[in-house]
């Protein structure tokens, strides 16, 4: 994970560093890692071309040939891993429903993958959760719809609001150290 220091300080810095550069309200060109399975193959290829046409730097993590027996983990984990290792980037994983692909991406330390099914969810994934990977169901949406989700995702900044950063820090502490967040004092005691 990016950032300096240890523990929560490093997590806060990493969270803040994930806010992509912007110019005139629009996202600057950025690197975008993509991975899919056979069900997302055509949409992935479409998005690679669309991203390139928009001036971004798409990195296709596969598959590079269509194989109806392809599994998503080899390709989606690589896209997620490369996204996590490149703090200025975002990632896209695509499958039939997007569910397994989001689960795979979220296994990678430093990834916050959002399963997206409309533009509002794409925006909220960035604004509230500082998601760095978007997961899309290739069988659930047209190429035009999916492209719209990606465009919103890429152009929406993280809000940086304290409440959202606090929540991301809690998840990062659990991910990195296995530390459960404290139950708020005003809640009844739990076993």
pLDDT at 20 over 80: no
DSSP assigned state of 28: P
77-136 confidence digits (pLDDT tens): 999 999 999 999 999 999 999 999 999 999 999 999 999 999 999 999 999 999 999 999
pLDDT score of 177: 95
pLDDT score of 27: 55
Instruction: For the chain, give the mean pLDDT.
Output: 89
Confidence of residue 178 (pLDDT cuts 50, 70, 90): very high
Catalytic-residue membership of 128: yes
Q: Which two tokens stand for residue 18?
A: 């994930």
pLDDT score of 61: 98
Do residues 69 and 169 touch, judged by C-beta distance below 8 A? no
Name residues whose C-beta falls within 8 Å of residue 14's C-beta, 6 or more positions apart in sequence: 1, 2, 3, 87, 110, 172
* CA 7 from centre of chain: 22
pLDDT score of 116: 98
Do residues 63 and 36 touch, judged by C-beta distance below 8 A? yes
128-170 confidence digits (pLDDT tens): 999 999 999 999 999 999 999 999 999 999 999 999 999 999 9
Describe the chain by its helix, strand, coil percentages, rounded to 5: 45, 15, 40
What is the mean pLDDT of the segment spanning 174-187? 93
pLDDT score of 114: 98
Task: Single out the catalytic residue among 17, 42, 127, 128.
Answer: 128
Task: Single out the catalytic residue among 56, 101, 141, 169.
Answer: 101
What is the mean pLDDT of the segment spanning 164-182? 95
CA distance 168 to 173: 9
Cα angle for residues 7, 12, 119 (degrees, 5° grid): 135
pLDDT at 4 over 60: no
Catalytic-residue membership of 101: yes
pLDDT score of 8: 38
């Amino acid at each position: 994970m990016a950032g300096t220091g240890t523990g929560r300080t490093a997590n806060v810095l990493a969270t803040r560093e994930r806010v992509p550069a912007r110019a005139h309200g629009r996202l600057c060109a950025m690197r975008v890692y993509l991975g899919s399975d056979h069900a997302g193959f055509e949409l992935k290829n479409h998005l690679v071309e669309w991203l390139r046409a928009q001036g971004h730097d798409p990195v296709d993590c596969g598959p590079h040939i269509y194989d109806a027996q392809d599994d998503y983990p080899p390709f989606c984990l690589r896209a997620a891993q490369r996204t996590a290792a490149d703090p200025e980037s975002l990632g896209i994983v695509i499958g039939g429903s997007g569910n397994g692909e989001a689960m795979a991406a979220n296994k990678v330390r430093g990834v916050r993958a959002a399963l997206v099914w409309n533009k509002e969810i794409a925006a909220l994934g960035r604004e509230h959760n500082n998601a760095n990977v978007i997961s899309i169901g290739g069988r659930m949406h047209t190429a035009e719809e999916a492209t719209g989700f990606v465009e919103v995702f890429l152009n929406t900044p993280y809000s940086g609001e304290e409440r959202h950063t606090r929540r991301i820090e809690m998840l990062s502490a659990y991910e990195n150290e296995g530390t459960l967040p404290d139950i708020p004092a005003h809640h009844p005691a739990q076993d």
